[in-house]
Amino acid sequence: LDEILAHKRREVELRRAQRPFESFEAALASSASELRPPLLARDGDRAAVEMAPSSSFSKSRTVSAIRPFAVTLRQPGVSIVAEFKRRSPSGGELRPGASAGEMARLYSACGASALSVLTDEAYFGGTDADLVEARQASSLPVLRKDFVVDAYQIYEARAVGADAILLIVRALTNQELRDFLDLTRHLGMDALVETHSEDEVRRALDAGAIVVGVNNRDLDTLVTDVTLAPRLRPLVPPDCIFVAESGVSQPEQIATLYAAGADAVLIGESLLRAADPGALLRSLVAAGAPRGARV
């Protein structure tokens, strides 16, 4: 992870030189509207849906109107966030020849609730063009999955049409996490705040995270422990949205996460490697379908 973050900081400096920070502010400032899309707010022991006044960043002729990511994942049952990525450091090339638009259409048709698109190029082979293509091919909200180390990337995400971004607790200081969450909401987007330990879950909650993810894969060792998310689930209060990430590939695992109280699961590699990703996704969606009240 440290290697990726160091590379990302250099990459952001290069991009900032090519397109100054102020150009994003100018483009987004032209996107005035009266309301943001529905946002989830921490409110006691429940998730409140609010329509918040926009500071001017929601709709535009040039910037896509935001699709609600958090609200979508709050639906009954276990929502599936289906991911497109070209390769990974641990898995290599995942589905040669596949396009982001093709997979987005397939995911949408087979029951996914939201999309995730890797836009890191150096380590995952992705680009912002993949996100744009996926979003144009589907009506689902799209998470821009990248390694955020600078506020520049948050403005950049909104400018390319992302509905939500990933913030990795391990990659940020407490102050950066709070500031980046505030900026994300200011721009009308949601943030999936990723954790991998009890301490990181507490840091996410202290910073005001609404959507809390637990990555079963250690980003330093790349070792996956699928029992981690269920173990950490009790630390996340019911007014937040809990997302399990990595290592999930079977309907039985979705059923286990359903019983543990997960709201959503982010799945990428298993879908992209499957002989029939549509059939696998349909089986995962069926396993997460609501079955009455959960304890």
Catalytic residue chosen out of the listed positions 58, 108, 113, 246: 246
What is the percentage of the chain residues whose pLDDT exceeds 90?
Answer: 78
Q: Is 245 assigned a catalytic role?
A: yes
Instruction: Report the predicted TM-score, pTM, of the whole model to 2 decimal places.
Output: 0.88
Catalytic residue chosen out of the listed positions 138, 215, 216, 270: 215
Give the pLDDT mean for 148-177: 97
Q: Which residue has the higher pLDDT, 6 or 27?
A: 6
Q: Is 145 assigned a catalytic role?
A: yes
Catalytic residue chosen out of the listed positions 8, 79, 83, 88: 83
Give the pLDDT mean for 132-140: 98
Q: Is 85 assigned a catalytic role?
A: yes
> Is 34's pLDDT higher than 80?
no
Structural contact between residues 213 and 243, judged by C-beta atoms closer than 8 angstroms: yes
Residue 46: band (very low, low, confident or very high) from pLDDT cuts 50, 70, 90: very low
Domains of the chain are 2-287 (3.20.20.70)
- Strand 87-88 and strand 92-93: pairing? antiparallel
Per-residue pLDDT tens over the stretch 244-283: 999 999 999 999 999 999 999 999 999 999 999 999 999 9
Residue-wise DSSP of 60-109 = -SSSPPPPPHHHHHTSSS-EEEEEE-SEETTTEE-STT--HHHHHHHHHH
Catalytic residue chosen out of the listed positions 85, 108, 116, 133: 85
pLDDT at position 64, please?
Answer: 80
Q: Is 216 assigned a catalytic role?
A: no
Catalytic residue chosen out of the listed positions 145, 216, 269, 270: 145
Q: Single out the residue of 277, 254, 167, 251 nearest to residue 212, CA to CA.
A: 167
> Is 37's pLDDT higher than 60?
no
Question: What span, in angstroms and rounded, lies between the C-alpha atoms of 295 and 288?
Answer: 15
